[in-house]
Amino acid sequence: MTDMEKERNLKYTVITDKGVTVCGRVLEHNHTGSAMLTEIYRAQLGDWPKFFKMDTLSKVGYLASELLLKELGERRLEGEEYASDRAIVLFGTTASLCADRNYQETIQDSDNYYPSPALFVYTLPNIVTGEIAIRNHYRGETSFYVLDGYDTGSMAFHLQCAFQDDVTESLLAGWVDSTDNDDFRCFFTLMDRADASDLKGLENELKGIMDNLK
Amino acid sequence: MARVIQCIADNVVSPLGRTSMENYVNVKAGCSGLARFEEMDRVSSPFMLSRIDRYVMDELCIGLDIPDGKYTFFEKMLLTSSIQAVRKAGIDPSSDRVLFIISTTKGNVSLLDRDVKGFPQERVLLGKSASMVSRYFGNPNAPVVVCNACISGVCAQIEAMRALQSGRYDYAVVTGADEQSPFIISGFLSFKALTDTPCRPFDKDRTGLNLGECAATVVLKASDAPACGWVLEGGAIRNDANHISGPSRTGEGSYLALMEVLRKCGREGLAFVNVHGTATAYNDEMESIALYRAGLIDVPVTGLKGYYGHTMGAAGIMESILSMYAVQDGTVLATRGYAEQGVTYPVNVSPENRPAHGNRFIKLLSGFGGCNAALSYAYYS
Correct CATH for B4-223 of 3.10.20.90, 3.40.50.970, 3.40.47.10, 3.40.50.300: 3.40.47.10
Q: Please tell me the distance from the alpha carbon of residue A171 to that of residue A162, in angstroms, as a whole number.
A: 8
CA B161 to chain centre: 16
Q: B112 touching A, CB under 8 A?
A: yes
Q: B148 touching A, CB under 8 A?
A: yes
Q: A167 touching B, CB under 8 A?
A: yes
B297 pLDDT above the threshold of 90: yes
**Using the beta-carbon criterion (under 8 Å), do A165 and B241 form an inter-chain contact?**
no
ipTM rounded to 2 decimals: 0.98
**Using the beta-carbon criterion (under 8 Å), do A103 and B240 form an inter-chain contact?**
no
Type of residue at A176: V
Taking only the tens place, the pLDDT of each residue in A131-167 is 999 999 999 999 999 999 999 999 999 999 999 999 9
Q: B240 touching A, CB under 8 A?
A: yes
Q: Would you list the domain boundaries of chain A?
A: 12-213
Domains B4-223 and B229-380 share a fold: yes
**DSSP assignment string, B215-245:** EEEEEEEEESSPP-EEEEEEEEEEE-SS-SS
Handedness of CA B197, B338, B151, B88 (dihedral sign): positive
Fold of the domain spanning A12-213 = Peroxisomal Thiolase; Chain A, domain 1 (3.40.47)
Share of chain A above pLDDT 90, in %: 95
Q: Would you list the domain boundaries of chain B?
A: 4-223, 229-380
Higher pLDDT, B204 or A4: B204
For residue B97, what pLDDT is reported? 98
Chain A residues with CB inside 8 Å of B146's CB? 143-146
Give the model's confidence band at A6: pLDDT under 50 very low, under 70 low, under 90 confident, else very high: very low
For residue B227, what pLDDT is reported? 80
**How far is the alpha carbon of B246 from chain A, nearest alpha carbon, in Å?**
11
**Using the beta-carbon criterion (under 8 Å), do B42 and A113 form an inter-chain contact?**
yes
**Using the beta-carbon criterion (under 8 Å), do B238 and A153 form an inter-chain contact?**
no
Q: Please tell me the distance from the alpha carbon of residue B15 to that of residue B199, in angstroms, as a whole number.
A: 17
Fold of the domain spanning B229-380 = Peroxisomal Thiolase; Chain A, domain 1 (3.40.47)
- How far the first Cα of chain B sits from its last, in Å, is 22
**Using the beta-carbon criterion (under 8 Å), do A120 and B126 form an inter-chain contact?**
no
**Using the beta-carbon criterion (under 8 Å), do B239 and A130 form an inter-chain contact?**
yes
Share of chain B above pLDDT 90, in %: 98
B57 pLDDT above the threshold of 70: yes
Taking only the tens place, the pLDDT of each residue in B162-171 is 999 999 999 9
Give the model's confidence band at B1: pLDDT under 50 very low, under 70 low, under 90 confident, else very high: low
Chain B residues with CB inside 8 Å of A115's CB? 186-187, 189-190
Q: B252 touching A, CB under 8 A?
A: yes
Taking only the tens place, the pLDDT of each residue in B229-247 is 999 999 999 999 999 999 8
**Using the beta-carbon criterion (under 8 Å), do A134 and B371 form an inter-chain contact?**
no
Chain B residues with CB inside 8 Å of A108's CB? 113-114
**Using the beta-carbon criterion (under 8 Å), do A84 and B127 form an inter-chain contact?**
no
**How far is the alpha carbon of B352 from chain A, nearest alpha carbon, in Å?**
35
Q: A93 touching B, CB under 8 A?
A: yes
Q: What is the mean pLDDT of residues B172-179?
A: 98
**DSSP assignment string, B73-133:** HHHHHHHHHHHHHHHHHT--TTSTTEEEEEE-SSTTGGGGSTT--SS-GGGGSHHHHHHHH
- How far the first Cα of chain A sits from its last, in Å, is 35
Nearest CA in chain A to B146: A145
B49 pLDDT above the threshold of 60: yes
**How far is the alpha carbon of A144 from chain B, nearest alpha carbon, in Å?**
6
Q: A202 touching B, CB under 8 A?
A: no
A175 pLDDT above the threshold of 60: yes
